[in-house]
Amino acid sequence: MKITTILPARFFLFAATLLMPLSALAYGFGFLHNEIVSDFNTEDWSKFDEALIHTLDNLPDKQIHTWSNPKTGKGGAMTVLDSTIENDKPCRRLRIINSSGDRKGRSTFTFCKKPPDDTWLVKPDDARKSPPETSAPSAEEN
């Protein structure tokens, strides 16, 4: 699948960054509240997109996929928590952790494929979730 298929989700991530905090809550992108992804440059976004597509399209449930940009110190991890079929389309609940220096943001979203081009989109129900925890990494997360 082409990387461009994540653009709708990426657009909402970017828009939520510009319109925080209201839109971060409205769209369910609560992990943006800590502004970690607002510091992403083009290369960070490219690595994030590649990791997201790879994780959604290829990884089995419970497997962790990490990404990093050594040039900027940004990175993260993604884990498919479970997979379902809704309205005859695959859906995957994904935990996303992004980090920048000693800051971490984490959230969980359900992505479902949308016809006709099977673009991964965040499930609308996730827009009603409260913001997730953000913190400096704990000893067990390092």
Write out the two tokens for 104.
């971490």
Residue 134: inside a domain, yes or no? no
Determine, yes or no, domain membership for 136.
Answer: no
Question: Is 131 part of any domain?
Answer: no
Which domain covers residue 108, as residue numbers? 3-124
- Please check the confidence at residue 63 and state whether its pLDDT lies above 80: yes
How buried is 139 (Cβ within 10 angstroms: 0-12 exposed, 13-18 middle, 19+ buried)?
A: exposed
- Rounded to two decimals, what is the model's pTM? 0.68
- Residue 132: inside a domain, yes or no? no
| 140 has pLDDT over 50 | no
Decide if 94 is inside a domain.
yes
- Which whole number is the average pLDDT over 37-43? 86
Q: φ, ψ for residue 136 (rounded to 5)?
A: -75, 150
State the Cα–Cα distance between residues 30 and 36, nearest whole angstrom: 11
Q: Indicate whether 140 belongs to any domain.
A: no
Q: Domain tally for the chain? A: 1
In the predicted model, is pLDDT for residue 75 greater than 60?
yes
